[in-house]
Amino acid sequence: MNFATILKNGFVKENPVFIQFLGMCPVLAVTGTATNGLGMGLATTAVLLGSNTVISLLKSLIPNKIRIPCFIVVIATFVTMTGMIMNAYFPVLFDALGIFIPLIVVNCLILGRAETFASKNSTPFSIVDGLAMGAGFTVALVVLGAVRELFGSGSVFGLNLLGDAYPSAAIMIQPPGAFLALGILTAIFNVVILKKMKS
């Protein structure tokens, strides 16, 4: 195993959203705008980075039988910290994401990486894995948010791209649009990846 493989896995081969379909709740619920997607992605990355680091450091101390509660305690600590920092420095984003910030605790991406990677690998690898998976998650959320915002409001990151004459398709920033956009983007992602892997 080397750093390049871990990075590639997080971004492409095991992309948390388009390949593993992990953490679907925030993926579908908060990607109405690119900004919200970016905020959610960065918050998740911060928690993932912290939990992966601490769990890989503690892996020899954690008894195997009660590892899940131990992981959750570590994750919850970092989620609380992230939430407080966001509330202090990005109050608008914190309000927009609402309940989905505390819910990062139960995001299966984070527990999944703790269980399958951080508890079995050395600390440097775990840090890179946390960064790679977090970046893969963030990029996916930003792309999804940008597509939905572009068609649903005519803008990306709040920047009006399509002009005032564009009739916004409100369905795209509503729940059905989340499923539509995720399905179509996943199909495109898989076509591109499959073509690359064949060649």
Partner 1 sequence: MSNRLIVSPSPHLRENTTTKTIMFDVAIALVPASIASIFFFKTPAAMILLISIISAVLAEYVVQKIRKQPITISDGSAFVTGQLLALNLPASVPLWIPVIGSVFAIVVVKQMFGGIGQNFMNPALAARIMLTISYTDRMTQWVEPGVDAVSTATPLTFASDFTSVQSGAPSFVDLAIGNIGGSMGETSAILLIIGGIYLIYRGVISVKIPGLFILTVAVATLLYSGFDIEYMLYHLLSGSLMIGAIYMATDYASSPVTPRGKIYFAVGCGLLTSVIRLFGAYAEGVGFAILLMNTTVPLIDRYTAPKVFGEVEKQNA
Q: Residue numbers of the site for partner 1 (CB under 8 A)?
A: 167-172, 174, 176, 180, 183
Instruction: Give 122 or 190: the residue with its C-beta nearer to partner 1.
Output: 190
Cβ neighbours around 95 below 10 Å, total: 11
Phi, psi for residue 112 in degrees, rounded to 5: -60, -45
Instruction: Give 72 or 180: the residue with its C-beta nearer to partner 1.
Output: 180
Residues 6+ apart with CB under 8 A from 179: 28
Question: What is residue 115's DSSP assignment?
Answer: I
CB of 99 to partner 1, least distance (A): 24
CB of 94 to partner 1, least distance (A): 29
Instruction: Give 56 or 153: the residue with its C-beta nearer to partner 1.
Output: 153
Task: Locate 99 and state its tokens.
Answer: 């309940």
Give the dihedral of Cα atoms 26, 30, 35, 38; nearest 10 deg.
0
**Closest Cα partner for 22 from 41, 35, 2, 5?**
41
CB of 161 to partner 1, least distance (A): 18
Instruction: Give 34 or 172: the residue with its C-beta nearer to partner 1.
Output: 172
